[in-house]
Structure 1
Amino acid sequence: MKTTYIRLSIATALLLGIYSCKKGEATASDLEAYATTDSAATIVSDSISSAATMKVKDKQFIKTADVNMEVKDVYDATISIEKSVQELGGFVTHSDLKSNVISEDTYNTSNEEAMLVKKYQSENRMQVRVPTAKLGEFLSLMNDKKLFLNSRSINAEDVTSSIKYAELEGKRIKKTGENISQLKTNKDKVKLDDENISESNQQQLANMDMTDNLKYSTVDIYIKEPKIRVAEIAITNTKSIDDKYKFSFIYSAKSAFVEGYYLIQRIIVGLITIWPILLIGAAVLFLYKKRKSAKPQQNISK
């Protein structure tokens, strides 16, 4: 029974290995097919930068961009960018919009009301993924929102050799699986097959990441407002409330009388607690006075 179970386990592992190898090879083939299709695409003119839409025959590029610019309103620009990304078939992976408070002052306008004045500057750090074929279009849309461009960098990494290498690795893994299947069944064979399956999974994951990075470009965006903005917030005048209830003579006098009464009680209780000491002290004092009064009488009798 045990021998049959071991044989079934080995057979299952081999089938998984062969399937995984074929799957890894298919992913590499898909990657090559995507590369061929993308290379044959027509060149699109781009007033932003040729790097954004660069197409070279038999070459593949992973494109990234970094944009730092000033806008009129950070919140409105953020909404517009997110909408543009969605319309182009992309998605937002990170957005950190915040307002940095520079100063905060409160001015009383009446006994009941006050005005909180905040001076602040808004900014947002974003990361978006847009289809590589539409990277130039997206950068053009962003260019319409800027007041001033601090910096912009576009990077196109040539990964053609990496794609070819992924294809060769898929073939090697498949060949290794076929060689392992011809070995005699033992513990070493199971170990080798397991390692081959693991390697195939890693290669498949790398192919998927490569395909994703080819299909979608990553754009890091930093936007801020050039000037300090002011927010006026109506609040309650807390100082007048504090002055109103700061001191009450009648209540304070009543509290002082009650506290004095409790103090007398605590003193009496304290004296009762130390009654043995008071009794001993009284006895010592009595004996001392008695002895002192006896000495003058003895001097008179002499």
Structure 2
Amino acid sequence: MKKRTKLGLTLLLFGFAFACKQAEATDNTAEVSADTTAVEKTISSDAAVEKKESNRKFVRTADLKFKVKNVAKSTYAIENIVAKNGGFVTFTDLKSNINEKSETKISQDSTLETTRFTVDNTITLRVPNTQLDTVLKSMVKEVAFLDSRLIKADDVALQLLSNKMAQKRLASHQKRLEKGIDTKGKKLNDINNAEDKVLGRATENDETVLQNLSLEDQVNYSTVTLYLYQRESVLQEIVANEKSINAYRPHIGLQIWDSLKTGWFMFEAIIAFIVQLWAFILLIVFGIVAYRKFVKK
């Protein structure tokens, strides 16, 4: 009876411990999910999302600065996200900034080179206006720490309407000027002045059209500017030392042998030079003999 009681208590304790572990695992999963959801809410934005029946036109821009584990890998991941959502990258500036560099001699022929550097990247990308929030949410897994986030939405519906109305007025005025030139223009000066006015109105009309096209492009494609950085990295590399010129000097025996050969070559050169002066030496000898034989007598 006692054995059965002990066995029952053991099973009861084991079941209680297992239930506690399951509850703890569930809580941890819930915390991770809550953290991810919080980051997604922080980095993304549903503000100024256009409704289908709305006449508003928003130019949406986003500026984000955040820390990542690896700038290069995060850059490639973000570029893939943008491409999958129909966007494109217009600017990227990935670089390593050297903060400190030192050299430590560890042996006669080796040096340890230590480089401390940080990697960052500035990215400008364009994504469809309807996919902006999706792109921002997809980048959440790359964010280790969010420094700042700025999202703007400017309503340009009235500006687009104003440009279209101005375009119609300019086109109408241009037609009236052209008609006046064709029907009433007689003098050359009057025609030239009228043609200049027509050209001016056509130029204004073209500028208005281009402004509208630019605004529509900004409405259709949002501009996102990202600044990515990572913690300081350290690169250590062992490099070979450059040998001193003294390491290539020959030993003393070879130096003495080279000196003897050099001296002998100099001696040979002196003898050869003296032999080249044989005629001058012969004249001196004849002069001495003649002096002793004739002058002294």
* TM-score, L = length of structure 2: 0.64
**Counterpart amino acid of 1:191?**
D
Q: What do the CA deviations read for 1:73-121 (whole angstroms, capped 9, x no partner)?
A: 0111111111211221111111111111111122334443333211111
Which protein has the larger Cα radius of gyration, Structure 1 or Structure 2?
A: 2
Which of 82, 85, 99 does residue 82 from structure 2 map onto? 85
| Distance in 2 between residues matched to 1:52 and 1:245, nearest whole Å | 74
| Distance in 2 between residues matched to 1:248 and 1:175, nearest whole Å | 96
Give the aligned partner of residue 222 of structure 1. Answer: 227
| Distance in 2 between residues matched to 1:212 and 1:85, nearest whole Å | 17
Matched, 1:242 2:244: yes
| Distance in 1 between residues matched to 2:140 and 2:250, nearest whole Å | 65
Q: CA deviation at 1:236?
A: 1.5
Q: What do the CA deviations read for 1:241-287 (whole angstroms, capped 9, x no partner)?
A: 12744877978x98xx9xxx9xxxxxxxxxxxxxxxxxxxxxxxxxx
Mean Cα deviation higher: 126-135 or 105-114: 105-114
Give the aligned partner of residue 49 of structure 1. Answer: 45
Give the aligned partner of residue 19 of structure 1. Answer: none
SS in 1 for 2:204: helix
Q: 1:131 to 1:79 in 2, by over 3 A?
A: same
Q: 1:52 to 1:180 in 2, by over 3 A?
A: same
| Distance in 2 between residues matched to 1:242 and 1:83, nearest whole Å | 52
Matched, 1:140 2:155: no
Mapped contact 1:96–1:125 kept (Cα < 8 A)? yes
| Distance in 1 between residues matched to 2:64 and 2:85, nearest whole Å | 18
| Distance in 1 between residues matched to 2:244 and 2:135, nearest whole Å | 56
Q: 1:249 to 1:180 in 2, by over 3 A?
A: farther
Give the aligned partner of residue 69 of structure 2. Answer: 72
Mapped contact 1:71–1:145 kept (Cα < 8 A)? yes
Mapped contact 2:95–2:121 kept (Cα < 8 A)? yes
Superposed CA RMSD in Å reads: 2.6
Q: After the TM superposition, which residues 184-203 of structure 1 pair with which residues of structure 2 at under 5 Å, given as runs?
A: 184-185=184-185, 186-203=191-208
SS in 1 for 2:130: helix
Q: CA deviation at 1:54?
A: 4.8
Give the aligned partner of residue 235 of structure 2. Answer: 231
Which of 115, 118, 139 does residue 115 from structure 2 map onto? 118
SS in 1 for 2:125: strand
Q: CA deviation at 1:166?
A: 1.5
Mapped contact 2:123–2:227 kept (Cα < 8 A)? yes
SS in 2 for 1:59: coil
| Distance in 2 between residues matched to 1:245 and 1:104, nearest whole Å | 28
* TM-score, L = length of structure 1: 0.63
Matched, 1:58 2:55: yes
Q: Structure 1: 5+ residue runs without aligned partners? A: 1-45, 262-302
How many pairs were matched up? 208
The share of aligned pairs that are identical, in percent, is 27
SS in 2 for 1:144: helix
Q: CA deviation at 1:162?
A: 0.5
**Counterpart amino acid of 1:72?**
K
Q: CA deviation at 1:150?
A: 0.5
| Distance in 2 between residues matched to 1:113 and 1:52, nearest whole Å | 62
| Distance in 1 between residues matched to 2:192 and 2:220, nearest whole Å | 42
Matched, 1:205 2:210: yes
Q: After the TM superposition, which residues 110-189 of structure 1 pair with which residues of structure 2 at under 5 Å, given as runs?
A: 110-183=107-180, 184-185=184-185, 186-189=191-194
Q: Where has structure 1 moved over 6 Å in runs of 4 or more?
A: 246-251
Q: CA deviation at 1:53?
A: 3.3
Q: CA deviation at 1:132?
A: 0.8
